[in-house]
Amino acid sequence: MTSRPRPFAQVDVFSAEPYLGNPVAVVLDGTDLSDEQMARFARWTNLSETTFVLPPTTPEADYRLRIWTPSGELPFAGHPTLGSARAWLAAGNAPHSGDVLVQECAPGLVRIHRSPAATPSSVSEASAASSAPGSTWNDDAAPLAFEAPPTVRTGPLEDDVLRAITTGLGISEADVVAHQWVDNGPGWAAVLLRSDREVLDLEPEFPALGEHKVGVLGPVLREAAQDDSAGSVGSPDSGSFPLAFHSGESGALPSGSLTAADPAHGTEDHSFEVRAFVPGPRGYEDPVTGSLNASLAQWLIRTGRAPSDYVARQGTRLGRRGLVTVTSSGADVLVGGRCTVCVTGSVLL
């Protein structure tokens, strides 16, 4: 097949400031490209993910997305989902439903919302904001958020898996407050440590992780003000959540409290520090990971380890400052952040 110019964009995801998030390469017209051509271009970009926008196969979807890493195709990933949506919108497109953008990918349909606020207070409010009069999908400053897909594997990690992960992270099993499979497609396993400092201090040995993709997180420790008139520390009314919210599982967090993030009022910046490690001989740390943060949020909120709305930071050790907003209503979880189109043009494919 003869190559031709195709519209292209590169988007920085989960950061309001360009080049501090996680980039994704987006080919906005992937029609008639073979798997080998997609794989070859993904290897050439050498980014964690490269996506190809295609016509949908179902009338409910606005477009179909295929997501490739340098080593193969992924069924779903979070930051490519948001980055591709931002690139598609910036190219002058709009969802046919008007209020929700629907992406088709291997696991099914993923619904993407727009909100004019940094953190909508619920899934329903985000949807209402998208359809409000005067709402414009092409407002580049507006954050986007996707509905977290259901996990395909949950439950505690097996003993041998936990042993391999702690060995690869250079910690002991006693350092782990809780652990869980949080797999929504990519295969994530998660461990919760006692603090953000412990997360940032990790120096993983990637080959020792075996085949396990590992997400590690820890709460940001802050001393909450003791003010009886404002409600007791650790109560939902006070906006503070107890650090020892391990709900019967072994391990205990230090005394103190975790203050829920509240960007709208300019108070705490983030409540959790997250790192994501992808194993292998050339293993790497992912700067900011949407799929991982989605399944972490489902686990943390379900088990009472996090408030219904919070902000997680990721990429610190890599010189990035990714901020992932989590909002929820019941079992529904939205994961989002700001996306900036940094490069536009065409590619020859």
Average pLDDT over residues 148-162: 96
Does residue 176 have a pLDDT over 50? Answer: yes
| Residue 302 and residue 189 share a domain | yes
| Residue 247 and residue 105 share a domain | no
| Residue 172 and residue 313 share a domain | yes
Q: H/E/C letters for each residue in 114-174?
A: ECCCCCCCCHHHHHHHHHCCCCCCCCCCCCEEEECCCCCECCCCCHHHHHHHHHHHCCCHH
**Ramachandran angles phi, psi of 253, nearest 5°:** -90, 160
Q: Burial level of 242, CB count in 10 A (0-12/13-18/19+)?
A: middle
| Residue 135 and residue 33 share a domain | yes
Q: Which of 87-96, 187-196, 198-207, 232-241 has the lowest mean pLDDT?
A: 232-241
Does residue 99 have a pLDDT over 90? Answer: no
| Residue carrying structure tokens 């520090």 | 273
Average pLDDT over residues 98-105: 93
Q: What is the pLDDT of residue 45?
A: 98
Residue 287, in any domain of the structure: yes
| Residue 195 and residue 311 share a domain | yes
Q: How far apart are the first and last CA of the chain?
A: 9
| Residue 238 and residue 116 share a domain | no
| Residue 172 and residue 145 share a domain | no
- Sheet strands (E) in the chain: 5-13, 22-27, 50-54, 63-69, 72-74, 101-105, 108-114, 144-147, 178-181, 188-192, 213-219, 240-242, 257-259, 272-278, 284-286, 310-314, 322-329, 332-337, 339-348
Residue 326, in any domain of the structure: no
**Ramachandran angles phi, psi of 279, nearest 5°:** -80, 180
Domain that holds residue 225: 159-319
Residue 124, in any domain of the structure: yes
CA dihedral 50, 192, 110, 55 (to 10 degrees): 10
pLDDT tens digits for 241-282?
433 333 333 334 443 334 444 333 333 489 999 999 999 878
| Residue 95 and residue 174 share a domain | no
* Tally of domains within the chain: 2
| Residue 163 and residue 139 share a domain | no
| Residue carrying structure tokens 């507006």 | 142
Question: Residue 15: which pLDDT band, with cuts at 50, 70 and 90?
Answer: very high
Does residue 132 have a pLDDT over 70? Answer: no
Question: Residue 141: which pLDDT band, with cuts at 50, 70 and 90?
Answer: confident
Residue 123, in any domain of the structure: yes
Q: What is the pLDDT of residue 225?
A: 39
Residues with Cβ within 8 Å of 323's Cβ and at least 6 positions away in sequence, in order, are: 14, 15, 16, 269, 270, 311, 312, 313, 337, 338
Average pLDDT over residues 113-139: 55
**For the chain, what is the mean pLDDT?**
84
Residue 65, in any domain of the structure: yes
